[in-house]
Amino acid sequence: MLVIITYDVSTLTAAGQSRLRKVSKLCQNYGQRVQNSVFECLVDAAQWADLRHKLVQLIDPKEDSLRFYQLGNNYKNKIEHVGIKESLNLEGPLIL
């Protein structure tokens, strides 16, 4: 399933800056960054449960926020991209 994750982490303190880095790094482990605080993650149900749990544990809900958009398995017709930074094909071959 495709999940869009957006976040807003307060960076007014060193602890907030650390949380921001951890949230970003965790999201990078599961998907691709498409905007500064937006990731597209192609995950199965177990990966999604693990990722969501870890993200919720990382943030401070009094200062930060997370938003999850579950687009499911038929996501290709639900996404339209206009402009630069064309998205990576998450199901395509990985070339290193």
Query: Tell me: the pLDDT tens digits for 24-59?
Result: 999 999 999 999 999 999 999 999 999 999 999 999
pLDDT of residue 89: 61
**Order of strands across the sheet that contains 65-72:** 31-35, 38-42, 2-8, 65-72
d(CA 46, CA 15): 29
CB 63 within 8 Å of CB 15: no
Q: What is the pTM of this model?
A: 0.80
